[in-house]
Structure 1
Amino acid sequence: MENKDYRHNITVQYCFPDNNSSCRKEVRTGPAYIFLFFFLSCVSVFTVFLNLLVIISISHFKQLHTPTNLLILSLSVADLLVGLFVMPVNIMQLIDSCWYLGQIACTVSIVVNFISTSGSLCSLVLIAVDRYIAVTDPLLYSTRITNCKTVLLILISWAFSVLYIFICMYSNDHLLPSQIFTTCYGECVIYVKYSWVIVELVLSFLAPCSVILVLYSVIFNVARHQAKAVRAVTNGASHNHGAEISNVSETKAAKTLGIIICVYLACWIPYYIGSLTDNNLTSSSVVWTVFIWLIYMNSTVNPLIYAIFYPWFRASAEYIVTCKIFVRSSSRVNLFPEHF
């Protein structure tokens, strides 16, 4: 039971040759697929490594135990799940179309996929809210936003993510493992109803995107007004210095806002455009594969945006990579030197 198409370097076999209801197997070979496998594997490893650095840094160093960093930790946990479980599974299915791990593993894989992406979105929104309160009400921020309240919000957001995926799967008749496999044996595919795509568009994209856009727009405006206030109160020799600081602050706020919004939109817009234009979109289609990997890439870029640009991350990463964290009292080291 084997058929070879040498023109496309694809060997068509069957996932389970002894089973009459087995799916057809596509083993993709050739230089292009080898390069794709190598590239995506590197992306997965890099995603895991970078998010682990963030998680270890915030967990180990007591100086980093702040509400904002706890939210970044939550984001990194969600992105770590994507790099550690979701990406490898999808890489295997890109090379070999068959699913050999059984129905339960298929359901778990789909659940982890949706929970991690949903948890990442919730963390992004909470980070935007946290920064909004910090900028608009800095004097009362420490009393309004505490570590305990932040942990509670994180737990609620993750619980919401779990509830959301089960409602989504139940609404699409895919809650039970036996309902995942719909065409042949050796397949792990979920079919999404077009009506639910509309609901997901609102709940998973338009709503969080609108919140992030509005909050960061307010943050940018506040930063700009603060820069003008600094320029207004400075004079003489200190005027130029104050204006310079203001310009740097204003530029930094603009760049941060631009990076956050552009990356978020660039990763999610193609997926929803494809979902709305294809009524029969399934998780096995090429269009789905391309667009879903853009979303996965967001988990690789998130730690770069929210962590690598912070001075404390570079300092803590150095301690971790050089194994200095195993030194006694390393958790109390100062990661914020005066020149930062």
Structure 2
Amino acid sequence: MQNKSETDDHLYTIQYCFPHINSSCIKDFQPDARNIILYIFISGISFLTVFLNLLVIISISHFKQLHTPTNLLILSLAVADMLVGLIVMPVQGIKLIDSCWYFGDTFCKIFPYFLYVVVTASLGNLVFISVDRYVAVNDPLRYPTRVTNNITVFFILIIWLASFIFCNIILNQATPNTDKSQVCYGDCRFAIKFEYFITDFIFTFIGPCSVILSLYLKIFYIAKKQAQNLNSATEKKACLNDKAARTIGIVVIVYLLTYIPYYIAAFILPKESNEKVINIMYWIACLNSCMNPIIYAMFYRWFRITVKHILTLRICEPLSEYFNLLPDNEV
């Protein structure tokens, strides 16, 4: 009887990703209540990320008054963030809870490319947003002619194309064959050689973040200097530009705070013991995609107004795209 009890306990604690397949991987055992709580949390954050970024996308796409270079870059960033909430968060969340891959070999090969492209494009958008704000503050008179919507759309296409090409090069060189990396059925791992990881770290994190931070230091220095030589006619516009720069600056800071722990874990922890921790850190990094629209809601009055129009269905009214959202010429 005692042996049977021990066997039952053993069978209870060992769970398989695919119970009907002999070569199935073993799940990370967690109490049912804990799994339910984690699934509810991950589903809720994923839904919130998609919903909030969709509000940003609809707002900027629909209302003509928001068709500015800065907002088009914010729109591109919101698209990347929505894709993170729609695909990356749920997939990474399931891997984190069960340590199982339920999505097949084909998606296992595609997912790393999708993940890297979206993350790289997000940072690329932040770089160009920083450049846009720098030009607006440093050369406000020529800004409308130097930075137009058409030019901005061109650079957005460049951002996404460059992200795809760079990530394709990195992952083609660094990702091992799926069959070789699979130790059991229900496993999906992709490993990047250390030298390629360093290359990716430099070109998609250190380099862009250095550019962003240096530009924002210049922006705040120029804004402070200009504030001392303003007359009443230009003071209001300068304040609005400064507010916009500060808002995007907060977006950048949140990005850094959410992604730095991931890189620290990847560098410091031993390779054989870092997979679980890195998955946790990467999912935390994904929370950045949920934070951006919350920041917009806190600092951009136009976003609060458009959300109200969308949720009350005023957006369906005739000529709603021409609503005046910025009565005070807010940026």
What band does the TM-score fall into relative to the shorter chain? 0.7 to 0.9
For 1:159, what is the secondary structure of its paired residue?
A: helix
1:211-238 superposed Cα distances (whole Å, 9 cap, x missing partner): 11011111101111122223xx68xxxx
For 2:14, what is the secondary structure of its paired residue?
A: strand
* Residue matched to 1:311: 301
Q: Which of 286, 292, 295 pairs up with 1:302?
A: 292
1:119-146 superposed Cα distances (whole Å, 9 cap, x missing partner): 1111111100111111111111111111
Equivalent runs, 1:2-41 vs 2, <5 Å: 11-41=13-43
Q: Report the CA distance between 1:18 and its aligned residue.
A: 4.5
> RMSD over aligned Cα, in angstroms?
2.9
The whole-number CA distance in structure 1 between the counterparts of 2:266 and 2:23 is 29
* Residue matched to 1:288: 278
Q: Report the CA distance between 1:304 and its aligned residue.
A: 2.7
Q: Report the CA distance between 1:257 and its aligned residue.
A: 6.9
The whole-number CA distance in structure 2 between the counterparts of 1:167 and 1:293 is 24
The whole-number CA distance in structure 2 between the counterparts of 1:136 and 1:29 is 57
The whole-number CA distance in structure 2 between the counterparts of 1:326 and 1:155 is 30
1:46-99 superposed Cα distances (whole Å, 9 cap, x missing partner): 111110000000111111111111100000000000001111112222332222
* Residue matched to 1:216: 216
* Residue matched to 2:126: 124
1:135-181 superposed Cα distances (whole Å, 9 cap, x missing partner): 1111111111111111110011101111122112112134x6545x4
Amino acid at match of 1:301: M
1:204 aligns with 2:204: yes
* Residue matched to 2:3: none
Amino acid at match of 1:22: S
Q: Structure 1-normalised TM-score?
A: 0.85
Q: Report the CA distance between 1:25 and its aligned residue.
A: 2.4
Q: Which runs of 5+ in 2 are unaligned?
A: 1-6
Q: Which runs of 5+ in 1 are unaligned?
A: 235-241
* Residue matched to 2:229: 229
Kept in 2, the 8 Å contact 1:224–1:250? The answer is no
* Residue matched to 2:62: 60
The whole-number CA distance in structure 1 between the counterparts of 2:140 and 2:105 is 51
1:296-336 superposed Cα distances (whole Å, 9 cap, x missing partner): 01111122334652111111111101111111110111101
* Residue matched to 1:44: 46
Sequence identity (%)? 46
Amino acid at match of 1:337: P
Label 1:251 to 1:130 Cα distance change in 2 as closer, same or farther (>3 A). closer
The whole-number CA distance in structure 2 between the counterparts of 1:3 and 1:288 is 33
Q: Report the CA distance between 1:105 and its aligned residue.
A: 1.4
The whole-number CA distance in structure 1 between the counterparts of 2:108 and 2:209 is 30
* Residue matched to 2:109: 107
Q: Which has the higher contact order (CA 8 A, sep 6+)?
A: 2
Q: Structure 2-normalised TM-score?
A: 0.87
For 1:315, what is the secondary structure of its paired residue?
A: helix
Task: Write 1 or 2 for the structure with the bigger share of helix.
Answer: 2
